[in-house]
């Protein structure tokens, strides 16, 4: 481990072409539209930290979680039909995790408090899906299938009154896990 201010920052480097070729763009925070820096993006390297990447601008479309490592051709791995258009830095979180999930929109219906990973919402809570949630502590990944599979959606602390209208997709959430600080 190197010490010093800049080395501790989260950093992701995007490349126009597969296998880290072509022009590159280095990012250390949220970037809502990468097209002003790169005409396309087909590979990336996460040097430190965790990021969500999206195949549409403004953190929309399909999203994928990236921890430290090299992604020589993310399109085949992620099933993205398109290249990365935006990315979001996931801040480091140490401490407890807590969210409330609700059966219906606007925090209505059956409610459960979640403080750890849940690999099957139906099995644990008897809910086939939830329509709204309040993330009180921590950063979470939601998955459209049980056992952390399928499309994913990143949720940071905040109130989500209608998950279906969030623009990312009309996905149903079947499992969820905490984004732990181990990826930093």
Q: What is the pLDDT of residues 85-97, one digit of tens each?
A: 999 999 988 899 9
Backbone angles phi, psi at 20, to 5 degrees: 60, 40
Q: Containing domain of residue 164, as a range?
A: 98-183
Question: Quick one: pLDDT at residue 94?
Answer: 87
Is residue 133 within 8 Å of residue 173, measured between CB atoms?
A: no
- 44 assigned to some structural domain: yes
Q: What CATH number does residue 23 fall under?
A: 2.60.20.10
- Which residue, 74, 90, 106, sits at the end of a domain? 90
Q: What is the mean pLDDT of residues 55-67?
A: 90
- 128 assigned to some structural domain: yes
Q: What is the total count of domains within the chain?
A: 2
- 1 assigned to some structural domain: no
Residue 155's DSSP bridge partners are 140
Q: Is the pTM of this model over 0.95?
A: no
Question: Quick one: pLDDT at residue 149?
Answer: 94
Question: Quick one: pLDDT at residue 7?
Answer: 44
Indicate if the pLDDT at residue 79 is higher than 90. Answer: no
- Which residue, 73, 90, 107, sits at the end of a domain? 90
Indicate if the pLDDT at residue 2 is higher than 90. Answer: no
CA 67, 71, 73: angle at the middle one, nearest 5? 145
């Amino acid at each position: 481990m190197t010490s010093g201010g800049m080395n501790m920052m989260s950093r992701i480097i995007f490349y126009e072409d597969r296998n880290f070729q072509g022009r590159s763009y280095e990012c250390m925070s949220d970037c809502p539209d990468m097209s002003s820096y790169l005409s396309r993006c087909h590979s990336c390297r996460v040097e430190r930290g965790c990021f969500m990447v999206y195949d549409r601008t403004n953190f929309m479309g399909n999203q994928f979680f990236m921890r430290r490592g090299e992604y020589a051709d993310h399109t085949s791995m992620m099933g993205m039909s398109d290249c990365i258009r935006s990315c979001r830095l996931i801040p480091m979180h140490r401490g407890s995790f807590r969210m409330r999930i609700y059966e219906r929109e606007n925090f209505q219906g059956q409610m459960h408090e979640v403080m750890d990973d849940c690999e099957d919402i139906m099995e644990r809570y008897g809910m086939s899906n939830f329509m709204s949630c309040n993330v009180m502590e921590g950063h979470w990944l939601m998955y459209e299938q049980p056992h952390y599979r399928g499309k994913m959606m990143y949720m940071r602390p905040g109130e989500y009154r209608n998950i279906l209208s969030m623009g990312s997709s009309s996905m149903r959430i079947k499992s969820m896990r905490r984004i732990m600080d181990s990826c930093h």
